[in-house]
Chain A
């Protein structure tokens, strides 16, 4: 096979993989996106409201160092990359109403323990 066709096929495979990755990374259309900015020593916003059955995608971005995003009592504990190194998406769909507290799970400085917030999940109104 001529070299130019091999390179064409290779480029196509790479782009196909990129396409699949792009599509798989998309949030479903019915998923609400909530953007949170992390910086020493706060999450903004630090309170999120949603209803049972709703699924949200929490997108976290740092303005300074890397932080952690941990939802206490849930299987959510991710790294928020440093400023300029992108954001991270966390799908969240609680099964029960309640208050789900979240916090920074990376020791990020003297005021690290103040980096907290809450997701308030209410029953869906009929």
Chain B
């Protein structure tokens, strides 16, 4: 019993010891596995924390480099060959970053989704694509399989990247050298990591879009400012500047602005290099008139009837034109023809929308310039009528001026004829007579050419002028009228006045109108001490002024504003346009016309004009007329 007990105890002790050893062994093995698992887990958590931190704090500009570094870490972590981060943009899958181990090819930067239809569909549904071997792919993924094989991919994992919205991109890993599996827990953990990538992509996208929007806002407001002050004179320059901005903003290579003039067709066109009348777009013009947007990927695709448009495009170096109508209100007033818009992708809707906005700004400027041209034309027309009517008022004195030399010529010629009939003509006297006739001819011719100058209808000049000369010329014109009206006219001209810039005839017309206005103010015959003074002076700081002082009854200051309105008159004769025309002309020259009463009686009408800057052409700003809304 004693032995049996010992034996039993010994066996038990061995069993217990063995069990203990086994247990201990087992326990050690389990804790090693758990530890490995734990370490593994820890490594991943570290990677996750590390990558998340890196991707969150990165600037948009450094994002690509950060993404590449992150991919590299992940590929190393996973022990695979290649990692890719693809972005979905404009319906194409764009490989943003690809990192591959040395000796393994990176992916090309754009993947055509046509070859990966099944993969793309699966990813869009939010599901993961994974295979250890390409033959695990389902039958419907035959094309995808070919594609993967061509890329050298043996095992593959694609995880869709989403940040609450549509799919932003794909995080994918390839094994090229060997086959491998993608266990569920790995995929689950990678899902976690993919979120760091997704949010980085989303942030970048938003930042880009914000920057782009800001840039667009900036362009739009600069363009609005630039084009809000557009005038007929600066139109070409402003449009060229606007086109340059648009080209820079859109990254297009060419831009042409065409003016559409009603259904009759195209007007002028502009490029950044200037305006051109050679490039004509009759076919595009018609399509644009109908409000169509025309996009052609190659200019050769334009139809046969667009032959002229095609050659215009080719002449301007536009190979894939896109044309959109420019609307001012509901009217299409022009078109914007752009060269290659977006290389390698279709034009985004957002950009088309932006283009429409830009187009509207440009269209409004075109429309305004058009209206201004029309106003300027009307004004010129009106000024002409004004001159004709002013000359009508001067007709008596002009007749006088012409009839004097004519009388002398007729009489001298008669005497000369008589002298010639003599047996020995008096050559000396004949010569004198001929000299007189010639002088009178020239005198008459001068009167006629002065008349013609005032009656001429033409383009506005914009030349340096001496106001003293203009005053003297007008004084010459009205000299006889003054005699007839028995009003002496005194000129008080300041010497050495700086020049102004403007149109000689129109400024003469201003002086003439004001002088006639002054004469009419003194038309009551009772008084005999009337006098008219025309004074020029330097006005502060960079202006020259002309004052016409009469000694009439003065003006009613309550009416002073109405006085410059068209058709205002206190006279029984005349259109009442003289002062209105004078003011529009002075305004158009950047000057100012005012009326006031003299302390000693009578009124003074005074206008001042800016001194012409040396060597710097002054622009003839026609906008005040348009904004004043002259009822012409």
Do the two shown chains form a genuine complex with each other?
Answer: no
Chain B interface residues (CB < 8 Å from chain A) = none
Chain A interface residues (CB < 8 Å from chain B) = none
